[in-house]
Amino acid sequence: MKFSFLIVRLISIFTLLVSCLDEKAGKKYFGPETALISGRVVAVADGDTLTLIDRNKTEYRIRLAGIDTPEKSQPFGKRAKTELSQKVFGKTVNIKIIDIDRYKRLIGNVHLKNRWINREMIQQGWAWHYKKKSSF
């Protein structure tokens, strides 16, 4: 069981590295030296997904790591989106990237100054702790 998890993780990392081309090709490499992204939040899709633009005008779709929120059509889904928007929309955040999901979104921990937004969403009851995909 642990061996298969390790293999899946290694394949995921290898796929990430192989799929990311150099900057000349217009793509970014997310290796250990570039695992931190800073930028302004320009959109919030729902309670656990946002869009960020960095200082180079590169747009990133980010899924908050370790949490899950109701879909917009489910009870409290719109409220979860509103809460995340109130916390980060229009603000400059730092995101530590930890993975890429099957929808090609970056998965990361969102920090606003000394606040950890992922954890705040759970503590305030707007998100569930998604233990299967959690880094905390």
β 67-68/128-129 pair status: antiparallel
**Computed from CA positions of residues 87, 85, 109, 19, in that sequence, does the dihedral angle turn out positive or negative?**
negative
**23 given a catalytic annotation:** no
**71 given a catalytic annotation:** yes
Identify the active-site residue in 40, 59, 61, 71.
71
Identify the active-site residue in 105, 115, 119, 120.
105
Identify the active-site residue in 63, 79, 102, 119.
63
Instruction: Could you list the beta-strand ranges (E) of the chain.
Output: 36-46, 49-53, 59-64, 67-68, 92-100, 106-112, 115-116, 128-129
Contacts of 11 (CB under 8 A, 6+ apart): none
**63 given a catalytic annotation:** yes
What amino acid positions are annotated as catalytic residues? 63, 71, 105
